[in-house]
Amino acid sequence: MSSLLSRLLKFSEPSCFFGYSRVFYRAVLCGLVVILTGCAVASETGFGENYPCWMNTLASGQYIGQIGVARNIGFGSFKPAELAKARAVGGLCDYLGKSCDDSVIKTALENETLDERSLYFAEHVYKGYVYGYASFSKINNKTCSPSRCSIAKCDPSWLCSPTENNQNGLLGVSYRATSLSAQMGKAIENALFQAEFLYGVTVAAQNNLTQSSFGTQNYFVNYQQSDIDLGTQEQLSYYVKHQCRFRSTLYRHVVLADNLPTRHSLNAGDTSWIQQPKYLGIDGAVGVVERPAASGLVSDQIKIAIKQAATELAFEKFSHISAESIIVTFGQGGVIEVSSTEQSTLSELKAQLVAIHFEQGSGSFLKVYTWIAMIE
């Protein structure tokens, strides 16, 4: 999209230093009021506040709606509420599996229809942002407390069981971004990475184990490298069902709306798969990342754990093994033995992220476990 509206939908929100909205903090120190100026995304929600329930649960059952957001600062000829609603309509286009250009979105806003279906709109101003909501159903104005997350406790349950209730669910996670709108989009991007495995990936991997012994001393070196080709990016039909925030991290429950065959599902809170990758007769593998990724992002830990599990499945599906051993004798019966075993694979597979589990690691970091299962 090349028009002004297209560019605004993606990029044109004013930002301050480091791209975060400007807020003011007050502190009292030694009887003096100190005013600090900084930048931050929307922080963890406070107590005693209420906003529309659709800001927590965007879709439920047959009621499908999506959210768009814009800073509550007027600029140019576009009002923040209009920009937020336009982005919400863009979310409904994703649900329909359509790539809507600016003219389609503009027409939808003017005629309050999309794909010959009536549109209903609502808006709410919260913490310096305008949230626009577009739905195919009449909107309930009920208010709720802001949803609070605890990913370490898997609360709410969809954080660790996005596939519960037989949904083709995915977990999108995003830390700070240049704007709240960009952060919401990044969370979806991270979720759709998981969806690519449903449509088939190619895994090329090598695993080399070298063992050596000298007298009573034994040494082991294990080296593994893998590359996963996701292939052509799919045009997916999806929607965000839930979302919540903890401090500066946004979590979004993304559900695929395509007519995919029923996938594996797991009851919330069931973690037996961590010790039993073939739990419930499912051909699965577990990936574990106990330390933070180089970026420090939980979303990258999840990706690494998924790749680990997918590589394990690829080795199980097909592997070529070669081995060699060298024995050197010297002196009065001295022996040095070195053996090397190399395992390689080049496999195409389809797999699904069935469950995620988080445990508190060292300091403030989390251990991430993912369960990947083969699908037909």
* Mean pLDDT of the region 343-351: 82
- Let me know if residue 182 belongs to a domain: yes
* d(C-alpha 105, C-alpha 258), whole Å: 22
47, 63, 34, 225: which is closest to 146 by C-alpha? Answer: 47
Average pLDDT over every residue of 302-322: 86
pLDDT-derived band at 332 (thresholds 50, 70, 90) equals low
Report the pLDDT averaged over residues 340-357: 82
Place of tokens 């389809």: 350
Domain count, the chain: 1
Average pLDDT over residues 304-320: 86
**pLDDT score of 330:** 66
Residue 280, phi then psi, degrees to nearest 5 = 60, 25
Give the model's pLDDT for residue 47: 39
Q: What is the tens place of the pLDDT at every residue in 151-204?
A: 888 899 888 888 777 678 889 999 888 889 999 999 999 998 888 887 777 777
Quote the tokens at residue 288: 């574990």
- Taking 60 as the threshold, does the pLDDT of residue 27 lie above it? no
> What is the arithmetic mean of pLDDT over 25-53?
43
Q: How far is CA 19 from CA 37, 39, 125, 224, in A?
A: 14, 8, 20, 38
- What pLDDT is stored for residue 262 in this prediction? 60
- CB-count exposure of residue 278 (10 Å: 0-12, 13-18, 19+): exposed
What's the pLDDT score for residue 250? 92
- 374, with CB counted inside 10 A (0-12, 13-18, 19+), is middle
The residue whose two tokens read 């070196």 is: 221
Query: Tell me, what's the pLDDT at 11?
Result: 38
Q: Looking at the DSSP assignment, which residues form a beta bridge with residue 351?
A: 374
Report, as an integer, the average pLDDT of 250-261.
82
**Bond preceding residue 156 cis, omega within 30 of 0:** yes
Does residue 125 lie in a domain region?
no
Share of the chain above pLDDT 70, in %: 81
User: Does any domain span residue 366?
Assistant: yes
Q: What is the mean pLDDT of residues 356-374?
A: 83
Residues facing residue 160 across a β-bridge = none
> Is the pLDDT reported for residue 19 higher than 60?
no
Lowest mean pLDDT among 124-128, 181-185, 219-223, 269-273: 219-223
Q: Cβ distance 65 to 133 under 8 Å?
A: yes
Q: Is residue 46 part of a domain?
A: no
50 in any annotated domain: no
pLDDT band of residue 324 (cuts 50, 70, 90) is confident
Alpha carbon of residue 256 to chain centroid: 13
**Bridge partners (DSSP) listed for residue 340:** 210, 324
94: in domain? no
Higher pLDDT among residues 44 and 140, named by residue: 140
pLDDT at res. 17:
26
Q: Confirm whether 138 is domain-assigned.
A: no
Give yes or no for a contact between 229 and 202, defined as CB atoms under 8 angstroms apart: yes
Q: Higher confidence at residue 209 or residue 34?
A: 209
What average pLDDT does this structure show over 47-73?
A: 87
* Helix, strand, coil percent values for the chain (each to nearest 5): 25, 40, 35
Q: What are phi and psi of 31, to 5 degrees?
A: 80, 0
Q: What is the mean pLDDT of the chain?
A: 79
Q: Which phi and psi (to 5°) does residue 201 adopt?
A: -135, 160
Q: End-to-end alpha-carbon separation of the chain, Å?
A: 37
Amino acid, single-letter form, for residue 337: E
Encode pLDDT of 206-252 as tens digits: 777 787 777 677 877 877 777 777 776 667 889 999 999 888 899 99
Give the count of beta carbons closer than 10 Å to the beta carbon of residue 344: 15
Share of the chain above pLDDT 90, in %: 32
**Cα angle vertex 243, ends 239, 248, to 5°?**
130
pLDDT score, position 257: 82
Residues of the domain holding 229: 157-376
Asked whether residue 75 is domain-assigned, the answer is: no
